[in-house]
Amino acid sequence: MSELTISRRGLLAGSALLWASTALPAIAFAQTPKKGGRLVLAADSEPRNLNPAIVASNGVFFISSKIVETLAEASFDGKDGLEPRLALSWEGAADGLSVTFKLRDGVKWHDGKPFTSADVAFSALQIWKPLQNLGRTVFKDLEAVDTPDELTAVFKFAKPTPFQLIRNALPALSSVVPKHLYEVGKIEDNPANNAPVGTGPFKFAEYKAGQYYRLTRNDAYWSKDEPYLDEIVYQVLPDRTSAAAALEAEEIQLAAFSAVPLADLDRISKVPGLKVITKGYEGLTYQLVVEINHRRKELADLKVRQAIAHAIDKDFVVRTIFLGYAATATGPVPKNDPQFYTADVPTYPFDVAKANALLDEAGYKRADDGKRFALKLLPAPYFNETKQFGDYLRQALAAIGIDAQIVNNDSAAHIKAVYTDHAFDLAVGPPVFRGDPAISTTILVQSGIPDGVPFSNQGGYKNADLDALIVKASETLDAAARTELYKEFQKKVAADLPLINVAEWSFISVARDTVGNIANNPRWAVSNWADTYLES
Amino acid sequence: MSRLRRFLSTPEAVAGALILALLAVMALVAPLLFSGDPQAIAGPALQPPFQDWSLPLGTDRLGRDVLAELFHGARTSLAVGLAAAAAALLIGAVVGTLAGFAGGLVDEVLMRVTDAFQTVPSFLLALAFVSIVGPSLGVVVAAIALSAWTGPARVARAEVLSIRERDYVAGARVIGMHPLEIAFREVLPNALPPVLALSSVIVAAAILTEAALSFLGLGDPNRVTWGGMIAEGRTVLRTAPFLSIVPGVALVLTVLGVYLAGEGVVESTAVRRSLS
Amino acid sequence: MTRALRLLRRRLVGSVFVLLIVVIGSFLLLEAAPGDAVDAYIVSTGGDAGMIELLRHRWGLDQSELTRLANYLWALLHLDLGQSVTFSRPIRDVILERLPTTLILMGSATALSFGLGSALGIYAGARPGSFRDRFLSVGSLALYAVPGFWLGLVLIVVFAVDLRWLPIGGIETIASAKTGFSRAADIATHLVLPVSALGFIYLALYLRMMRASMAEAWRQDFVLAARARGLTRGRIVLAHVARNALLPLVTMLGLQSAQMLGGSVVIESVFAVPGLGRLAQEAVAGRDTPLLLGIILVSAVLVIVINLLVDLAYAFLDPRVGAGEASA
C-alpha cells in the first residue's frame, strides 16, 4: 500500500462508474473489500500493558497496533521497505545529528483532539527514550525534538546516529501516544496503558480478563472509507490445541502467530473453508540459536564449538521440527533480510565424523562409556519448537559423545537461570531479528553487558575485534559502508561461533476463506488492519 | 496360599493383578528389549503404527520409537507412583504417629499443619512446587508426596489414638522405654495396616498427577513418562491421534489395575478379619 | 444447638492458625522460586539493565523478603489483599471477577458427580455383586483413571468440532451483550463440556462410596428387621439403606472440595474458562506472589467454610457425632 492506492481508493468511493470502467489492477478488482462485520481471532496471551510506546513487543503490537499507530510501517514494495503512516516523509541530515519528519495532516486522536508534532516529540522524549524496552538503546542519544510547526518534528541527536538505523526502527519503535493524556501523572500508571487511545483505525472498547479484547471501528480514521471491519475481537484461548478446534468449529476466523501447531497445518489446510498463509511475517523473523556459556572450559575451545555446529543437522531441524516452515541459518542475520544478509560466511555442514575428530583433536577423548563430558542444556520454554529442538540437540550431542542433561524451566526461571545466574552450559533461545542488527542482534555477542539483561550476551564471550566492529558500525553514517560492516560482523560471528545459529522461522496464519487482505505487508499480524475485510 | 486364593476370588482383582503383573514385566524387560536410549531418534517422524515392523507402534514428532518409549515409560510411571506413595505414607505415618502418641500441643500443631496442607488444593500445591523448584523426577515425586501425605497422617493418628491405651503400650512404658521408641517400635507397626490400605489410591493419584504436570509442561524432559508422551501427542491429537491414545490407554489401564488390585487386597484382608 | 456452636467456635479459632500457616508457607515457597515477577515480565519484552532495575523498584521487589511478608500480613489484617503485579489492579477485584465462574463450574461439577454418582451407586448397590454393579463400578473407575485434560480434549473434538453441538470453550459467547435468561442459557451451554469433564472424573468416588456403604448397610440389623417386616426391596433401598449411606458421602463432599479446585486448573486451561484455577496457574508463571497468596487464601477459606457446613450438617443429621470427634 502506498499513497497512490489511498488516493485511488478515494476516487473509487466517489463514483460507481469508475468502479467498473477503470483499468484497475486485477488484484484490487478481484478483491473488492466489503464493509462491516466482526473479525474474531485467537489470542494466546494477555498482555497487561497495552501501550506499544512503552512495550515494543509482538504480543502487545498484535492488539495495540490497530489502535496506536507508528510513524511508518513496513512494506513489501515501498522505498527502503517502508510506507507512511503518521509521518509522510523522513529525511536524515548528512552529519547524522538530525532526522526530520513531515507529519500527516488532518489526523485526530480517538477522543477528537488533533494529532500534532507535539505528540511525536512527547512520545519520543518522554517514552521511547527513557521507558521503551528497545527505544532505550536506539534513541539513547536523542537530545531534543524540535517542532517548528504542527506537522514537522525534527529529532536532534547528541552523537551522530545512522539514519539507516532510525529508519529500520520506525515500524516497531515509533508508536505515538497522545501527549494530552500522558502529560499528567506518572506515565507508567496512566490508565491509557490498559485502554489505549491512539489515531489508528480501531478504538479500544473493552477487555474482559481471561475472555476477550474488543476493538471497534474508528469512524473518524484519516484514511477515508477505512477501516472495513466494524469490530475486532481477540478471543483468549490459552491452550495450544484450541485455536485449531475453534477455527474448525467456525467460532473464530483467524489464528495468527502459529496458534495452530505446525504439525496440524497439513490436516487443517485440507479442511474446506480454511486457508494456511505463510506470508506476512517477513519482518518478524525469529532465530533458533544455541547460546553457549564460554565460562565452561570445554566450550571456550573453538574446536568444541565447531564440533557442536557440525553435529547439528540443520536440514533435519527445518524438516522435522519446523515441518519445512523455516530456513536453515548461516549466521546472525536471517536470509530473508533484504539489506544486510550475506551468504559469504564459514559454514558447518552436518558431519558427525568431523565433529568427533574435532573433539578428539581438542583433547576430549571418549571415556570407556563413550562419553567425553557432560553439559547442562536449557531450552527456552516459550515455543514448542525451542523445546523440541532441545530434545533433538540432546540426541545430536549424544552422537558425538557429549552427555547433555536437559533442564526444563518455566519462562521466569529460564530467564533468571540463563541471563542472571549464568547457570547453563548450552541454552536454546529464540532471539528476534528486528530489521537492523543494531536493534537487538549485536548485543547477543557484544561483551560488557551487565548481568540480568535478557536476550543478550550472558555467556561470558569476549572478542575485542568483534566489539570494535560493533561500535564502528553503530557510528557509521553511510548506509552502504554500514551494511558492509555488518557483513563483516556476520563473517566474524560465523567463524568464531560465540553462538550457533541453527534456523530462522516466521509464523503461520490460518484463516477462513472469507477474511480478505491478509498478509499484505511484512509485519501484517502486528500492523493496523485498516484494509482487512470480511466477505459476508 | 489361601490368602492369595481369597484375593483372586473376584474377577476384578484378577484383572487388576494381571495388569500390574504385565506392567511389572514391561518395566523389567524395557532395558533388555530396548537397550538404547528410548529418546533416540529411530526413524522418520510421525510414522503411523503397524506400518513398519521394526517400529510397530510408529514414531513421534521427532521420530522416536513409540513402543520403546511406552516400555520405558512404564518404568518411570511406576517408579513415580511407588516412590511418591512410599514417601507420602512414610511422612503421613510419622506425623500421624507423633501427633497421636504425643497428644497435647504437639498434636495440635501437627494437626493444624495437616489442616493447612489439606486446605490448599493438592494439585495447585504440586504445580507451584514444581514450577518453583524445577521439574525433575525427584522434584515431581516430592511434590506429589507433599500433597498426598495428609490422608495417611489422619488415618495413622486415629489408629494410634486407639492403640496407645492398650496393654502392651502401657507395659512398654512401665519397663521405661523411651516414648519415641514406644511410638515407632510398638505403636506404629500396629497402626500401619489401615494406612497401607490407602496406598493404591495414592499410587493411582500420583500417576495421574504426574501426567497432569507433564501436560502443563512440568515433566522431567530427560525421562520418558506416559504423561509426557500424552502431553506431547496432544498438539497433534487430530493428525496423529495414536500418539496420545497409546500412552493414554496404558495410563488408564495402569491406574485401573492399581485400584482393582488394591481393592482386592483390602477386601481379602477384610474377609480374613471378619473370619478370625 | 450448643454443640454446633461449640464446634463452630473451635473451628474458627483453629482456622485462623491454619490460614496463617497457609499464608506464610506459600509466601516462603514462592520466595524460593528462581526468577521474580520482573523476570517473568521481560520474557515477552526484553530490555536493558536500567529498565529492569526500574521495574523491580516500581513493583517493590527491591525490598527484603521479610519487609514484604510483614507488609503483606499487615495489609491482610486490614482485609486488604494487596495489588497484583501482573494485572496492576487490586487483587480483591481480580479474584472476585473470577470466583463466580469457578464456583459455578465446581458447584455444577460437584452436583453432577454427587447426584449421578450416588444415584448410580444406589442402582449398583441395590444388588451387590450383580453384573450391573460390577459394570458400573469398574466403568466409573476407568473414567476416574482418565487424565482430566485428555477427557476434555476428546470431548471438544467430538462435541464441539465434529458434531458442533456445543461451543469449544469460554464461559459465554464473547461480546454478545446477552442479558438475563438468554445469558444464563448461554453460560449453561458453555459449561456442559467442562462440567462433564470435571464431574465424570469424580463420579467414581461417590458411586463407589455409595455402593460400598450400601453393601455394608444390607448386613445391618435395621435392614434385616425391615426385611423381616416384609417391606419391598425398593422401599428398603431408598428409605433405609441409601439414606443411611448418605452420611459418609456428605463428608466426602467436604474433602473433595479442595481437590476439585486443583482439578479445575487443568480443565479451565483446556476449555479456556476464565476461572480461579487458571488464574492461579498464571500467577505461578508470572511470579505474582501476592496474587497467588490471595488465591490460595480465598480457596482455603472456601474449603474451610464448606467443611464447616458439612460438619454442621453432619452434626444435625447424625446426633451420635460429637463436636470434638468431627474435627479430626
The residues, any chain, with a CB within 8 Å of residue C234's CB and separated by 6 or more, are none
Supply the pLDDT for residue B270.
62
Residues in chain C with CB shorter than 8 Å from the CB of B255 are: 144-145
Q: Which chains touch A (3 or more CB pairs under 8 A)?
A: B, C
Residues in chain B with CB shorter than 8 Å from the CB of C149 are: 212, 215, 234
Supply the pLDDT for residue A19.
34
Domain CATH number, residue A94 = 3.90.76.10
For residue B27, the one-letter residue type is A
Would you call C147 and B237 a contact, using CB atoms and an 8 Å cutoff? no
Supply the pLDDT for residue B271.
55
Q: Which domain holds residue C211?
A: 96-317
Would you call C175 and A231 a contact, using CB atoms and an 8 Å cutoff? yes
Q: Does a structural domain hold residue A510? A: no
Q: Does a structural domain hold residue A214? A: yes
ipTM entry: 0.83
Would you call B134 and A390 a contact, using CB atoms and an 8 Å cutoff? no
Across A109-113, A247-251, A257-261, which has the greatest mean pLDDT?
A109-113
Chain CA centroid to CA B175, Å: 40
CA distance A56 to chain C (A): 7
Cβ neighbours, 10 Å, residue B162: 11
CB B29 within 8 A of CB B71: yes
Q: Touching check for A398 and chain B: CB below 8 Å?
A: yes
Torsion angle in degrees (nearest 10) through CA of B184, B112, B120, C256: 80
Question: What whole-number percentage of chain C has pLDDT above 90?
Answer: 2
**Which residues does residue B192 pair with via DSSP β-bridges, in sequence order?**
none
Q: Is the pLDDT of residue C143 over 90?
A: no
Residues in chain B with CB shorter than 8 Å from the CB of C277 are: 124
* Band of residue A8 on the pLDDT scale cut at 50, 70, 90: very low
**Which residues does residue A232 pair with via DSSP β-bridges, in sequence order?**
A39, A215
Q: Does a structural domain hold residue C267? A: yes
Alpha helices (H) along B164-225: 167-174, 179-181, 188-196, 199-215
b vs e for C142-167, b when ≥16 Cβ sit within 10 Å of the residue's Cβ? ebbbbbbbbbbbbbbbebbbeeeebb
Cell numbers 513531515 correspond to what residue?
Answer: A102
Pair C151, C4 in one domain: no
Across A13-22, A494-503, B104-113, B158-167, which has the greatest mean pLDDT?
A494-503
Of A49, A249, A452, the CB nearest to C160: A249
Pair A102, A212 in one domain: no
Supply the pLDDT for residue A515.
92
* Band of residue A22 on the pLDDT scale cut at 50, 70, 90: very low
Residues in chain B with CB shorter than 8 Å from the CB of C259 are: 121-123
Question: What whole-number percentage of chain C has pLDDT above 70?
Answer: 92
CB B152 within 8 A of CB B86: no
Per-residue model confidence as pLDDT tens digits over A73-93: 999 888 888 999 999 999 999
Would you call A320 and B45 a contact, using CB atoms and an 8 Å cutoff? yes
Question: What whole-number percentage of chain A has pLDDT above 70?
Answer: 94
Pair C175, C37 in one domain: no
Of C18, C146, C284, the CB nearest to B116: C18
Pair C113, C65 in one domain: no
CA distance B22 to chain A (A): 29
Q: Tell me which of B129, B222, B234, B242 to substitute to probe the interface with A (most A C-beta atoms closer than 10 Å).
A: B222
CB A126 within 8 A of CB A52: no
CA A120 to CA A109: how far, in whole Å? 13
CA B234 to CA A215: how far, in whole Å? 32
For residue A423, the one-letter residue type is A
Pair C122, C223 in one domain: yes
Per-residue model confidence as pLDDT tens digits over A188-213: 888 888 899 999 999 999 998 888 99
Domain boundary residue, one of C91, C109, C142: C91
Of A381, A394, A395, the CB nearest to B217: A381
* Band of residue A314 on the pLDDT scale cut at 50, 70, 90: very high
Supply the pLDDT for residue B180.
81
The region, left, alpha or beta by phi > 0 then psi within -120 to 50, assigned to residue A82 is beta
Pair C218, C165 in one domain: yes
CB A494 within 8 A of CB A331: yes
Supply the pLDDT for residue C106.
87
Domain boundary residue, one of C40, C65, C91: C91
Would you call B120 and C22 a contact, using CB atoms and an 8 Å cutoff? yes
Q: Tell me which of B18, B80, B110, B120 to substitute to probe the interface with C (most C C-beta atoms closer than 10 Å).
A: B120
Would you call B217 and A406 a contact, using CB atoms and an 8 Å cutoff? no
Q: Does a structural domain hold residue C326? A: no
CA A458 to CA C48: how far, in whole Å? 13
Q: Which domain holds residue A266?
A: 32-67+200-280+524-535
Domain CATH number, residue C256 = 1.10.3720.10
Pair C251, C287 in one domain: yes
Q: Does a structural domain hold residue A313? A: yes
Would you call B235 and A406 a contact, using CB atoms and an 8 Å cutoff? no
Mean pLDDT of chain A: 88
The region, left, alpha or beta by phi > 0 then psi within -120 to 50, assigned to residue B161 is alpha
Pair A437, A396 in one domain: yes
Supply the pLDDT for residue B2.
65
* Band of residue C318 on the pLDDT scale cut at 50, 70, 90: low
CA A444 to CA A500: how far, in whole Å? 11
Pair C118, C68 in one domain: no
Q: Is the pLDDT of residue A236 over 80?
A: yes
Would you call A408 and B219 a contact, using CB atoms and an 8 Å cutoff? yes
Q: Does a structural domain hold residue C325? A: no
The chain A residue lying nearest C166, using CA atoms, is A249
Supply the pLDDT for residue C149.
81
Of A263, A266, A398, the CB nearest to B61: A263
Supply the pLDDT for residue A462.
93
Helix, coil or strand: residue A185: coil
Question: Inter-axis angle of helices B66-102 and B242-275, to 10 degrees?
Answer: 40
Mean pLDDT of chain B: 84
Domain CATH number, residue A52 = 3.40.190.10
Q: How many CA atoms lie within 13 A of A133 on its CB side?
A: 23
CA B92 to CA B112: how far, in whole Å? 14
Of A387, A392, A410, the CB nearest to B131: A410
In chain C, the number of structural domains is 2
Residues in chain A with CB shorter than 8 Å from the CB of C55 are: none
Supply the pLDDT for residue A380.
92
* Band of residue A312 on the pLDDT scale cut at 50, 70, 90: very high
Helix/strand/coil (H/E/C) assignment for every residue in C190-230: HHHHHHHHHHHHHHHHHHHHHHHHHHHHHCCHHHHHHHHCC
Supply the pLDDT for residue A4.
35
Looking only at the bridges linking them, the beta strands covering A231-236 and A212-217 are: antiparallel
Supply the pLDDT for residue B95.
93
Q: Is the pLDDT of residue A360 over 90?
A: yes
CA C153 to CA C137: how far, in whole Å? 24
* Band of residue A108 on the pLDDT scale cut at 50, 70, 90: very high
What's the whole-number mean pLDDT along residues A146-152?
A: 92
What's the whole-number mean pLDDT along residues B172-181?
A: 82
* Band of residue C327 on the pLDDT scale cut at 50, 70, 90: very low
Pair A275, A294 in one domain: no
Q: Touching check for A384 and chain B: CB below 8 Å?
A: yes
Q: Is the pLDDT of residue B1 over 60?
A: no
* Band of residue B276 on the pLDDT scale cut at 50, 70, 90: very low
Lowest mean pLDDT among B220-229, C211-220, C267-276: C211-220
- Whether a cis peptide bond, with omega within 30° of 0, leads into C90 is no
Per-residue model confidence as pLDDT tens digits over C10-49: 777 778 888 888 888 888 887 777 777 788 777 767 777 7
In chain B, the number of structural domains is 1
Helix, coil or strand: residue A100: strand
Domain CATH number, residue B176 = 1.10.3720.10
Domain boundary residue, one of C91, C106, C141: C91
Per-residue model confidence as pLDDT tens digits over A417-475: 998 899 999 999 999 998 889 888 998 999 888 888 888 888 999 999 999 999 999 88
Lowest mean pLDDT among A29-38, A106-115, B263-272, C156-165: B263-272
Q: Does a structural domain hold residue C141? A: yes
Cell numbers 481508493 correspond to what residue?
Answer: A9
CA B137 to CA B141: how far, in whole Å? 6
What's the whole-number mean pLDDT along residues B163-174?
A: 80
Q: Is the pLDDT of residue C155 over 90?
A: no
Of B39, B131, B235, the CB nearest to A395: B39
Q: Which domain holds residue B44?
A: 2-275
Segment holding A236, helix H or strand E? strand A231-236
Of B112, B153, B139, nearest to C22 by C-alpha is B112
Give A122-173 as a DSSP string.
HIIIIIIHHH-TTHHHHTTTEEEEEEEETTEEEEEESS---HHHHHHHHHHH
Q: To 5 degrees, how large is the angle CA C48–CA C51–CA C54?
A: 150
Pair A238, A339 in one domain: no
Question: What whole-number percentage of chain A has pLDDT above 90?
Answer: 62
The residues, any chain, with a CB within 8 Å of residue A91's CB and separated by 6 or more, are A99, A100
Looking only at the bridges linking them, the beta strands covering A402-406 and A373-379 are: parallel
Domain CATH number, residue A396 = 3.10.105.10
Supply the pLDDT for residue A26.
38
Pair C81, C228 in one domain: no
Q: Does a structural domain hold residue A484? A: yes
What's the whole-number mean pLDDT along residues B35-64?
A: 84
Per-residue model confidence as pLDDT tens digits over B82-105: 999 999 999 999 999 999 888 888
In chain A, the number of structural domains is 3
Q: Is the pLDDT of residue B7 over 80?
A: no
**Which residues does residue A149 pair with via DSSP β-bridges, in sequence order?**
A152
Q: Does a structural domain hold residue A261? A: yes
Q: Is the pLDDT of residue A144 over 70?
A: yes
Q: Is the pLDDT of residue C325 over 50?
A: no
The chain C residue lying nearest A135, using CA atoms, is C47
Q: Is the pLDDT of residue A385 over 80?
A: yes
Q: Does a structural domain hold residue C328? A: no
Would you call C303 and B119 a contact, using CB atoms and an 8 Å cutoff? yes
Supply the pLDDT for residue A100.
94
Pair C187, C220 in one domain: yes
Would you call A239 and C270 a contact, using CB atoms and an 8 Å cutoff? yes
Higher pLDDT, A346 or C207: A346
Supply the pLDDT for residue C1.
54
